[in-house]
Amino acid sequence: MVSFKELGLVNTREMFAKAIKGGYAIPAFNFNNMEQLQAIIKASAETKSPVILQVSKGARNYANQTLLRYMAQGAVEYAKELGWEHPQICLHLDHGDSFELCKSCVDFGFSSVMIDASSLPYEENIALTKKVVDYAHQFDVTVEAELGVLAGVEDEVASEVSHYTKPEEVVDFATRTGCDSLAISIGTSHGAYKFTPEQCTRDPKTGRLVPPPLAFDVLDAVMEQLPGFPIVLHGSSSVPQEYVDMINKYGGKLPDAVGIPEEQLRKAAKSAVCKINIDSDSRLAFTAAVRKVLAEKPGEFDPRKYCGPARDLMTELYKHKIINVLGSDGKAE
Ligand code: G3H
Ligand code: 13P
Ligand code: ZN
């Protein structure tokens, strides 16, 4: 058993309380490799933003759980080396799908876990979430739960349809499970294709897809039911069109990829939404930079020569999110 406190990590309790009060949101960035982690920490340290490092089940399988844990521990030290005196870094399990996986992460030094039982019937979601909460809280590890189902085609997190969260269920759910935060469904979804062209309109000037607005009425109703309770938004990548264009220009094929417009995320960040999940945008930045280098320099075979630019572009992206979208800069001096 390793406590997250020994690793210099923090749970989400205080982070979220401050974020709701301050009208900003904490970035939750997924990582699978060293370059992503370096970029996240550099961006957070330079902006003094609290940050949540998210590890999915797929990331654990890809990178090895032991290595990931030491990477997170190393991240705290790296942050200090960059001059961030009191780093506020949370290590979070993203979309945990079983009690055993959540327990393993708690035992392994994670400071926060998500139990995503949103695809189960309501009572089963409550029972499983409560079991995870009861275990995690013994070690001061915070727990995110989910009510409502996101649409999406992400591997491991797949659902054909989007079922908005029912505001009339949230008080009962939060009270009976004891969860610390609640992910809700208001029209976001995972991946780089969040809406079909049929769901969008087209900007006549640019020809770009314009997605439908998020269901802010559902968010408002949830906040009315649970005043001051931490709300989480998954599937919140914006799918920056400059990265999509770069990928397509240098041999990729991402037709009509579309995300959540940043102004809608800005609006959400000012509310009780205090954690915003971003993964796909980082994948797009990484891929765009790598494709560019390899297309322009076909003779290049030193991974540092293409992973380095990928890291730089991701750092720029994370800083942009922190400063211009979430407003979390300067909140962890
Ligand atoms: O919400 C899903 C995250 O983007 C993680 O995706 O399961 O492919 O690692 P993954
Ligand atoms: P995106 O695919 O929109 O980046 O969402 C990531 C996410 O919700 C991770 O849990
Ligand atoms: Zn998610």
Domain segments of the chain: what residues?
4-326
Q: How far is the CA of 155 from the centre of ligand 1 (A)?
A: 7
pLDDT of the residue at 155: 40
* CB of 236 sitting under 6 A from ligand 2: yes
pLDDT of the residue at 86: 94
Q: How far is the CA of 65 from the centre of ligand 1 (A)?
A: 15
CB 136 within 8 A of CB 113: yes
Per-residue pLDDT of the chain (333 residues; tens, 9 = 90+): 999 999 999 999 999 999 999 999 999 999 999 999 999 999 999 999 999 999 999 999 999 989 988 999 999 999 999 999 999 999 999 999 999 999 999 999 999 999 999 999 999 999 999 999 999 999 999 999 999 988 764 344 445 566 899 999 999 999 999 999 999 999 999 999 999 898 899 999 988 889 999 999 999 999 999 999 999 999 999 999 999 999 999 999 999 999 999 999 999 999 999 999 999 999 999 999 999 999 999 999 999 999 999 999 999 999 999 999 999 999 998
**Residue 156 CA, closest ligand 1 atom number:** 7
pLDDT of the residue at 156: 46
Ligand 1 pocket test, pick from 32, 93, 94, 150 with the greatest ligand atom count within 8 Å of Cβ, gives: 94
Q: How far is the CA of 59 from the centre of ligand 1 (A)?
A: 8
Task: Tell me how far apart the alpha carbons of residues 90 and 86 are, in angstroms, rounded to a whole number.
Answer: 13
Task: Tell me how far apart the alpha carbons of residues 45 and 181 are, in angstroms, rounded to a whole number.
Answer: 25
Ligand 2 pocket test, pick from 55, 112, 234 with the greatest ligand atom count within 8 Å of Cβ, gives: 234
CB 311 within 8 A of CB 35: yes
How many CB atoms are closer than 10 A to CB 202?
12
* CB of 235 sitting under 6 A from ligand 2: yes
* CB of 109 sitting under 6 A from ligand 2: no
Distance of CA 135 to the CA centre of its chain: 23
Task: Tell me how far apart the alpha carbons of residues 181 and 273 are, in angstroms, rounded to a whole number.
Answer: 10
Q: How far is the CA of 188 from the centre of ligand 1 (A)?
A: 14
* CB of 118 sitting under 6 A from ligand 2: no
Ligand 1 binding pocket, CB closer than 6 Å: 30, 56, 58-59, 94-95, 154-157, 190, 234, 279
pLDDT of the residue at 208: 87
How many angstroms separate the Cα of 300 from the Cα of each of 293, 294, 305, 314?
8, 7, 7, 21
Among 173, 176, 127, 128, CA closest to 148: 173
* CB of 278 sitting under 6 A from ligand 2: yes
| HEC readout, the chain | CCCHHHHCCCCCHHHHHHHHHHCCCEEEEECCCHHHHHHHHHHHHHHCCCEEEEEEHHHHHHHCHHHHHHHHHHHHHHHHHCCCCCCCEEEEEEEECCHHHHHHHHHCCCCEEEECCCCCCHHHHHHHHHHHHHHHHCCCCEEEEEECECEEEECCEEECCCECCCHHHHHHHHHHHCCCEEEECCCCEECCECCCHHHCEECCCCCCEECCCCCHHHHHHHHHHCCCCCEEECCCCCCCHHHHHHHHHCCCCCCCCECCCHHHHHHHHCCCEEEEEECHHHHHHHHHHHHHHHHHCCCCCCHHHHHHHHHHHHHHHHHHHHHHHHCCCCCCC
Contacts of 178 (CB under 8 A, 6+ apart): 130, 133, 134, 137, 143
* CB of 30 sitting under 6 A from ligand 2: yes
Among 32, 241, 56, 258, CA closest to 155: 56
**Residue 191 CA, closest ligand 2 atom number:** 2
Task: Tell me how far apart the alpha carbons of residues 242 and 254 are, in angstroms, rounded to a whole number.
Answer: 12
Q: How far is the CA of 258 from the centre of ligand 2 (A)?
A: 13
pLDDT of the residue at 153: 42
- CATH fold of 4-326: TIM Barrel (3.20.20)
* CB of 277 sitting under 6 A from ligand 2: yes
| Beta bridge pairs of residue 277 | 28
180 has catalytic annotation: no
Phi, psi of 226 (to 5 degrees): -125, 70
Q: How far is the CA of 189 from the centre of ligand 3 (A)?
A: 8
Among 55, 274, 90, 262, CA closest to 182: 274
**Residue 95 CA, closest ligand 1 atom number:** 1
Task: Tell me how far apart the alpha carbons of residues 46 and 49 are, in angstroms, rounded to a whole number.
Answer: 8
